[in-house]
Amino acid sequence: MSIIINSGEARAFAYEALRKVRSGDYQEAEINALLDKANDAIGQAHETQTAILHKEASGESILVSILFVHAQDHLMTSISEKNLIIEMIEMTKMIHTLADKLTKGGNDHD
């Protein structure tokens, strides 16, 4: 469950950062803090996953349950979404910058 919980938190922090940028809130420190929290949560999920993998690598028999498969899916999805959200944040900033330039440029001709 730790993998699922931390993966969900990571995704929530990343989406919160994206929502802030989409609304025009560009406070870099706050955005970076949210992305740092997402990275920390992914790190905690990854540590749990690694501990399980180490047990199996050392010869301990690990029962692979549907819950564990589900947890792995959550972790993989959270990592992928966080990486895409970082790109989307940069693209959104560029779009807002261009839109501001167009708006200001349009007012210069009036």
Asked about 70 being catalytic, the answer comes back as yes
Residue with tokens 């990592």, as numbered in its chain? 79
Query: Which residue type does 61 have?
Result: S
Among 76, 16, 66, CA closest to 46? 76
Are 77 and 4 a contacting pair, CB within 8 Å?
Answer: no
64: which residues sit within 8 A by CB, 6+ positions away? none
The helix/strand/coil state of 63 is coil
Annotated active-site residue in 70, 74, 96, 109: 70
Residues with catalytic roles:
70
